[in-house]
Amino acid sequence: MTTTPQGAPSASAPEATAPQSGSAVPVGAALALGDDALVLSHRLGEWAGHAPVLEEEVALANIALDLLGQARVLLSLVGDEDELAYLREERAFRNVQLVEQPNGDFAHTIARQLYFSTYQELLYGRLAAGDGPFAPLARKAVKEVAYHRDHAEQWTLRLGDGTEESHRRMQTALTALWRCTGELFEPVDGLGLDTAALHEGWLALVSRTVEQAGLTLPTGPRSDGWSAGAGRQGIHTEPFGRMLAEMQHLHRSHPGASW
């Protein structure tokens, strides 16, 4: 960001540290991680004005903000963040299908958070321990995501161990999104990390919370024809197009607009 005293306001955001010249950032992996964060951020942002209580509205917005910050850094590593967020077509997004699933009721949002934040914390933890192009972001974001996971776990306990109605809804949500969890452990092109190796730790953490909440770990398919699993290849579920339309329409209608 550079300005002169007379100059116009600088660009939309301070530039994140550019990768060192020579250390190529794998585009596919940056898009995969960045799109996961961007899309989930947008979904969580949809709760603004609709959350069950004010504190929870603020909490979901704060989690969305953390994710948006991660997305901006990741997308900026491989291109212009605004162009990537607002001008790509649906098939160019590389996020897992889990994060694009509609918010549903509050239990669905919490189930999505539990599955995803547990995965993301483990993933960032591994990236943070390495020295690849994503390590600086991962070292920072892993601490933020730990709070996201804690938030999701506490709500899973509350809802599972709450009333009959909240228990029923939480179980329904866990079961409904289960088919989207296999995809989390598919290989990510260029990431340089065995994502399948994250599964054991993920299952242990999720199982522990689900059991403590008096809920049952779903047993449905996760990796066959009836499961989700091609988001990383650009194949998305039907609600994603509508989400993108809402997310992108302002920017597309008024290119270059600012306020």
Partner 1 sequence: MVRTPAPPGPTVLEEKLLELAGAVPDPELPVVTLAELGVLRGLHLTGPGRVEVELTPTYTGCPAVEAMAADIERVLHDEGMVEVEVRTVLTPAWSTDDITPEGRRKLGESGVAPPRPGARADGPVALTLGPTRRSGTPREAVPPPGSAAAPEPVRCPHCGSADTTLLSRFSSTACKALRRCEACREPFDHFKEL
Q: Which residues bind partner 1 (CB under 8 A)?
A: 1-5, 9-10, 13-17, 55-56, 58-59, 61-63, 65-70, 72-73, 121-122, 125, 136-137, 139-141, 143-144, 146-147, 149-151, 153-154, 157-158, 161-163, 201, 205, 208-209, 212-214
Between 9 and 256, whose beta carbon lies closer to partner 1? 9
The CB-of-80 to partner 1 minimum distance in angstroms stands at 16
Cβ proximity to partner 1: between 34 and 229 the closer is: 34
Comparison of 9 and 225: residue with beta carbon closer to partner 1: 9
Compute the least distance from the CB of residue 105 to partner 1, in Å: 19
Nearer to partner 1, 128 or 173 (CB): 128
User: Least distance to partner 1 from the beta carbon of 222, Å?
Assistant: 23
CB-based contacts of 39: which residues, under 8 Å, 6+ apart?
Answer: 93, 95, 99, 100, 240, 243
**CA atoms within a 13 Å half-sphere pointing along the CA-CB vector of 159:** 25
Closest CA to 198 of 142, 123, 146, 135: 123
Q: Which residues contact 19 (CB under 8 A, 6 or more apart)?
A: 25, 77, 133
Q: Is the separation of the CB atoms in 110 and 173 below 8 Å?
A: yes
The alpha carbon dihedral of 67, 70, 74, 77 has a sign of: positive
Q: Give me Rg for the CA atoms of the chain.
A: 19
Helix, strand or coil, per DSSP, at residue 234: coil
Q: How far is the CB of 101 from partner 1 (least distance, A)?
A: 22
Nearest approach in angstroms of CB 67 to partner 1 is 7
User: 3-class SS at 1?
Assistant: coil
Our CB check for partner 1 shows the closer of 253 and 258 to be 258
In the complex with partner 1, the residue whose CB is nearer, 123 or 228, is 123
What's the closest the beta carbon of residue 41 comes to partner 1, in angstroms?
8
With CA atoms as reference, report the closest residue to 85 among 43, 35, 16, 137. Answer: 35
Smaller CB distance to partner 1: residue 77 or 173?
77
Longest dimension (CA), the chain: 64
Q: Are 48 and 61 in contact (CB under 8 A)?
A: yes
Q: Are 95 and 36 in contact (CB under 8 A)?
A: yes
The CB-of-144 to partner 1 minimum distance in angstroms stands at 6
